[in-house]
Structure 1
Amino acid sequence: MNANNISSNQEDRFGDLVSLTLNQAALEAASNSRKFYATKANWTGIQTLYVMAQCTPDLTTADCLSCLQQSINGMPLNKVGGRLLWPSCLSRYELYPFYNDTDPRTPQVQLASPPSPISIPSSPPRISFSSPRYGKGGNPSVIIIAVVVPITAAFLLFIAVFIFRAKRKKRTVYETEPLAEGKDDITTAGSLQFDFKAIEAATDKFSQSNKLGQGGFGEVYKGTFPSGVQVAVKRLSKTSGQGEREFENEVVVVAKLQHKNLVRLLGFCLEGEEKILVYEFVPNKSLDYFLFDSTMQSQLDWKRRYKIFRGIARGILYLHQDSRLTIIHRDLKAGNILLDVDMNPKVADFGMARIFGIHQTEANTRRIVGTYGYMSPEYAMYGQFSMKSDVYSFGVLVLEIISGKKNSSLYHMDDGVGNLVSYTWRLWNNGSALELADPSFGENYQTTEITRCIHIALLCVQEEVDDRPTMAAIVQMLTTSSIALSVPRPPGFFFRSRHEQQVGNAVLSKDMSALCSVDDASITSVAPR
């Protein structure tokens, strides 16, 4: 263990980054055949965190993951580096590359093969003495040491194996249902990992009558445990090659998030090919269930909708700023907003989320994930994402909540068609923004309030990243009417008419416009232009 500590004002943030990155490495190592994984994460602009997790190849996925979690939980995370060798696994982190960065899959530390998981020298080390010999038998002290040292080593090895087997046996007793309210600690392996048979029984063997919906990587079921506790069970598809990555990401990201506007992860199950996430049960389904159904829209009056997008804003602000780590959601949409019994919103589905380092503000990717229509132009076209990407998605979501219309649909305008963002921009420029309001409101809304919300949404969907406000500024705008709002600039993915001369970087061809306007499904593997 490195004796140097991280500075006190950065301890919590560094500890969280180490914990999440180590746990991600543990999940990757447990799920591959080599039982080894190494990765790195940005810490500061000039420092990178390097981590490694490794098990002996004989361990099952569940036992390897359990062993590594014990190793991680027993290691101080406020040092500039550390490692902990458990009988059959090893975890390590440093602020310098201690493995071959060009091929991080190559193990740098070899763990002993069973049945002797700890490598013990075959003979005791040589001990030299400068004192003279005593007779034919040599020095009696040397003889005593030569006998005692191997016996002591063998005894210590026996104790270590005994303790390991006892703890291993204890760890195989997984949770059969969520712990009582106020007693759960989701940062520990015991309360995170559930027994598959208990989940299967809670969902009545994943019966169709308990099916709540289907996402990009699997199906969601309602589960009820013998104690009466209800949960939402997300069962990843066995045929989804990308599902495993999203599963691991969702566990390590959501496990440490605690906010009333974020859905709460209760645990997971990783047994064989089964990869399951267990969430708190949110009874009123998702926002799109009410928003885009003409028979359900009336249940969301203006007052409730205003409350909903203010709650969403607070949840995203927590991800961006108020949690110890900066997290970019990357897939904000109506289908990923759940509503509790009081119609309070809870942001869900963190399979696409990314964690940023302490000074990191943006990133690039060749693997575009998310939903067309909600994606910012710089992300959909060039793979660049940041907190402002979530801001753009939030702006689209606010327009959908106000209008009760999907952004992916096409709307007729004077000289053509456009998506909801383009349609709103035209109404705003024509001085008729209130035409956007859902007719189901009737006269039950304040004109100034709804106009201000449309104004804020248009600020969020501006084409230029720097023009968009932060989530902190948006929350202030929504809660304090006295804050002056700047004049919005043209939005990204704006469908311009042939008479308009302004042509920005986000102008799409007719074919690309259709691609970004038709499908609500999340995508996971699209190369940017």
Structure 2
Amino acid sequence: MKPLLLWCSIGVLCLFASPNHGRMYSLLSPLPAPLISPQIQPVSLPYSSVASPPTVMLMMVEDHHHMPKEFLLAIILASLGVVMIFVSLFCAYAFWQRSRSTSDLKMNQSSDAARGIPLGPTLSKFNSLKIASRKGSMCMMEYALLEAATNNFSESNILGEGGFGCVYKARFEDGLLAAVKKLDYGGQDCEREFGNELDLLGRIRHPNIVSLTGFCVHGETRFLVYELMENGSLETQLHGPSHGSALTWHIRMKIALDTARGLEYLHEHCNPPVIHRDLKSSNILLDAVFSAKIADFGLAVTSGNQNNGNAKVSGTLGYVAPEYILDGKLTEKSDVYAFGVVLLELLMGRKPVENMSPSQCQSIVTWAMPQLTDRSKLPNIVDPVIRDTMDMKHLYQVAAVAVLCVQPEPSYRPLITDVLHSLIPLVPIELGGTLKVVNPSPRPKQWPAAC
């Protein structure tokens, strides 16, 4: 646009700098034919003895009937005016588009602020997730859709309960099954956990980490939609009505291996590394073939932000590492400690903390540690459901891994990668390990014979 204005200005200057009754034009001048006067006299330049470029024939145009200068000036000014109008319209349209998007965002924030919900930081995440939803990884769902899929959040569809609400089984019109976590408004902690789940699970994709497929914001309530895990949580399987009867020794080792793989991805392959901070049996979910997936990233933090002094100590009693409780020191080794507690649950079928009396409780680590290192006592503390169903060498090896994971000193605990490599040889090939089983132990009824 600027070159056009420059040439128009040059044209105006040339107009006023020309003679009163004549102008010089090249033979190749683009001047329209009707403006050239018929009195044209060809003039040739005098010959020069010095070599010179080819002679250019010029014509003197004597224009006795030239157009008035005022008329030409009016045409030029009118052209400039039209150009300026178009430039102004374009700038106004661009400014309007920008102000419209800004006002829409402010309007959404103000409507939520009117209800007392601090959604400012979360809304920016929503915008990025909407882009992801177009790729099919996650979508923002309407409340009416979730209400219909859960039969108005019927109690008969409750799968479990969490710190901020219940998890419901949902069946959508196309037959798709899902789990819907309903987070009743619980202040900043609830909002922080909701945003954490969206942020991390919106980016993380791994076979041993549960998939988040959608979310919803309805008034003061938040909803997270996950893939449905048919066999519920490890806690329900071990400490529920079945008391672990569906979990054979090899399946328990498979669950431990799957969990270790999920943790290794968080610690070693995420950038920056992710510390789950709330690994426990209720956050390990099992699908139809007992493949384990880590869930609930509401308390998870990324490496580098874990010791900023602002976050309070969070976790579940019995799984929290001692250095985190005493000093607030949180590292990947804190997750390794929690994994060791889960491994003890799988071995012994006991809860991480058990009440000894109304005023006293005992952790599984304190109770089991003296017996885990004594080979004569170890078989007696194994869960009766799986007792005498495993190779004793494998039992000793798993017990040794568990003991290392729950060491009070973090530096004595192994990396989750080392734990993973220790468990792989103990899991049958068909279950994801490298063990060749000659006489495999009986599988539960839920396990497909083809696997």
Structure 1 residue 211: deviation in Å?
1.4
Q: Does residue 193 of structure 2 align to residue 249 of structure 1?
A: no
Per the alignment, residue 202 of structure 1 pairs with: 149
Tell me, in whole angstroms, the C-alpha distance in 1 between the residues paired with 2:76 and 2:274: 62
The answer to whether the 8 A contact 2:210-2:293 is kept is yes
Q: CA deviation at 1:373?
A: 1.0
Instruction: Give the distance between the partners of 2:415 and 2:9, measured in 1 at CA.
Output: 71
Once the two structures are superposed, residues 420-475 of structure 1 have per-residue CA deviations (whole angstroms, 9 ceiling, x without a partner) of 11122111344422322101213211111111111101111111111111111110
Query: Whole-Å Cα distance in 2 between the matches of residues 288 and 324 of structure 1?
Result: 30
In the other structure, the counterpart of 1:152 is 87
Amino acid in structure 2 at the alignment position of 1:467: Y
TM-score normalised according to structure 2 size? 0.66
Q: Does 1:387 align with 2:322?
A: no
Deviations 1:333-378 (A, max 9, x none): 0111111111111111011111236xx8966554122112101112
Does residue 337 of the first structure (1) align with residue 284 of the second (2)? Answer: yes
The whole-number CA distance in structure 2 between the counterparts of 1:237 and 1:230 is: 22
Partner of 2:445: none
State the partner residue of 2:350.
Answer: 405
Amino acid at match of 2:243: M
Structure 2 distance, partners of 1:251, 1:345, is 21
Cα deviation 1:109-145 (Å, max 9, x = unaligned): xxxxxxxxxxxxxxxx9xx979859588979656644
Q: Secondary structure at the match of 1:405?
A: coil
In structure 1, the partner of 2:132 is 188
What is aligned with 1:420? 364
Q: 1-side partners of 2:76 and 2:423: how far apart? A: 81
Number of the residue aligned with 1:279: 226
Contact 2:202 2:212 in 1 (8 A): yes
Structure showing greater radius of gyration is 2
The one-letter amino acid of 1:419's match is S
Deviations 1:453-509 (CA, angstroms, capped at 9, x unpaired): 11101111111111111111110111247xxxxxxxxxxxxxxxxxxxxxxxxxxxx
Rounded to whole Å, the distance in 2 between the matches of 1:186 and 1:403 is 45
| 269-278 or 246-255, larger mean C-alpha shift | 269-278
CA distance in 1 between partners of 2:81 and 2:314 (Å): 63
Number of the residue aligned with 2:421? 476
Do 2:372 and 2:403's aligned partners in 1 also have CA atoms closer than 8 Å?
no
Tell me how far apart the structure 2 counterparts of residues 157 and 453 of structure 1 sit (CA, whole Å). Answer: 70
Q: Is the 8 A contact 1:310 1:475 kept in 2?
A: yes
CA deviation map 1:359-414 (0-9, x unaligned):
x89665541221121011121222221111100110111001111001211569xx
Pick closer, same or farther for the CA change 1:435–1:153 going to 2, 3 Å: farther
Question: CA offsets per residue over residues 25-60 of structure 1, 9 Å max, x none?
Answer: xxxxxxxxxxxxxxxxxxxxxxxxxxxxxxxxxxxx
Following superposition of structure 1 onto structure 2, how do residues 249-398 of structure 1 map, counting pairs within 5 Å? 249-293=196-240, 295-356=242-303, 364-398=309-343
Distance 1:264 1:388 in 2: 25
Query: Structure 1 length as normaliser, TM-score?
Result: 0.57
Aligned residues: 335
- What amino acid maps onto 2:343 in structure 1? V
Q: Output the amino acid matched with 1:198.
A: L
One-letter amino acid of the counterpart of residue 142, structure 2: D
Read off the aligned partner of 1:154 and give its amino acid letter: L
In structure 2, C-alpha distance between the alignment counterparts of 1:165 and 1:348, rounded to whole Å = 39
* Contact 1:222–1:231 (8 Å) recurs in 2: yes
Give the Cα–Cα distance (whole angstroms) in 2 for the partners of residues 473 and 319 of structure 1.
Answer: 15
- The 1:437/1:187 distance shift into structure 2, 3 A limit, reads farther
Which has the higher mean CA deviation after the structures are superposed, 156-165 or 244-253?
156-165
Unaligned runs of 5+ in 1: 1-124, 169-184, 482-529
Greater shift, 431-440 or 132-141, is seen at: 132-141
Judging changes above 3 Å, is the alpha-carbon distance between structure 1 residues 233 and 200 closer, same or farther for their aligned structure 2 residues?
same
Contact in 2 for aligned 1:187/1:256 (Cα 8 Å) = no
Higher helix share: 2
For 2:392, give the aligned amino acid.
T
Q: Quote the residue 2:185 is aligned against.
A: 238
Give % identity: 34
1: CA distance between counterparts of 2:238 and 2:87?
71
The CA distance in 1 between the partners of 2:362 and 2:94, in whole Å, is 72
Q: CA deviation at 1:309?
A: 0.7
Secondary structure of 1:270's counterpart equals strand
Q: 1:309 to 1:370 in 2, by over 3 A?
A: same
SS at match of 2:333: helix
After superposition, the Cα gap between the structure-2 partners of 1:361 and 1:296, relative to the gap in structure 1 and judged at 3 Å, is closer
Return the alpha-carbon distance in structure 2 between the equivalents of residues 142 and 284 of structure 1: 80
Q: Secondary structure at the match of 2:267?
A: helix
CA contact (8 A) 1:268 1:277 kept: yes
Task: Output the CA distance in 2 between the equivalents of 1:330 and 1:216.
Answer: 15
CA contact (8 A) 2:379 2:387 kept: no
